[in-house]
Amino acid sequence: MYGLEGRRAVVTGAAYGIGLAIASRLVKEGCAVALWDIDAASLEAARADLARQGALVTTHLVDVSDLGQTSRALDATISDWGAAPDIFVNNAGIGQVASILDATPEDFERTMQVNVRGTFNCCHLVAPLMCDRGNGNIVNVASWFGKSGRPMSLAYCASKFAIIGMTQSMGLDLAKTGVRVNAVCPGTIADTRMREQADEAALSKGLLPAADREHLIPLGRLGKPEDVARVVAFLVSEEAGYMTGQSINVTGGLWMN
């Protein structure tokens, strides 16, 4: 355990997959957690599951690519708690399996709006509150696709490269305020909606699904959402108190740098 009892954490894209695993881990660490997502049914199911574990959980329906919605969700979350978040995890994201030859301008724009603008919107609103207080932790969920261009992933790679750059820039800008900003870079993670969608798209294009590429991973298995959640819990703890601007690989050895 990382001594996070009493902290207040927001997790975006928290209704399932990696986001839900992060929220669940932070609950186990003693945090009050606000789940943000655009999927109302899954959001309620996640809330009910965590509440059964005795967690203090609130939910807000929000599209983080919309600054107005994001601002209202943050105001409501602060009202729920009576205080600003101590921890903010930017996990909401989408992606397409497409190259420059078949990516549509609309899909590219939507990916950038959710992944990049969504991360900006949340940080734009929450970072000043953390700076005023003199402490806080922001974790952005990037990807190993943000460290090396990958085939058939034009928009997704562009967005995740951008998130790593934003993490480094914010880490430098906010360091003297007591606010730390880091990122996690998941590899091939099973049991997520994005993984299911990517595998369906890959198959439709004659490409192999993730399970058929498992043998390429040095640790011999696909990642689990909980693998990512454990690293997030570490990054927002004082155990990582001398880390900022870092982008940590969680890839089973598939990517190293």
Q: Which residues are catalytic?
A: 156
Per-residue CA distances from 49 to 9, 20, 54, 55, 70 (Å):
17, 10, 9, 9, 24
Q: Which residues does residue 184 pair with via DSSP β-bridges, in sequence order?
A: 141, 248
State the alpha helices, DSSP H only, in the chain. 17-28, 40-52, 67-81, 105-111, 118-133, 154-174, 193-204, 225-235
- Which residues touch 19 (CB under 8 Å, ≥6 apart)? 11, 12, 13, 35, 37, 89, 91, 92
Helix (H) / strand (E) containing 138: strand 136-141
Q: Could you give the 3-state DSSP secondary structure of residue 32?
A: strand
Do residues 164 and 144 make contact, with C-beta atoms less than 8 angstroms apart? Answer: no
Strands of 57-61's sheet, edge to edge?
57-61, 32-37, 8-12, 87-90, 136-141, 179-186, 247-250
Q: How many CB atoms are closer than 10 A to CB 222?
A: 18
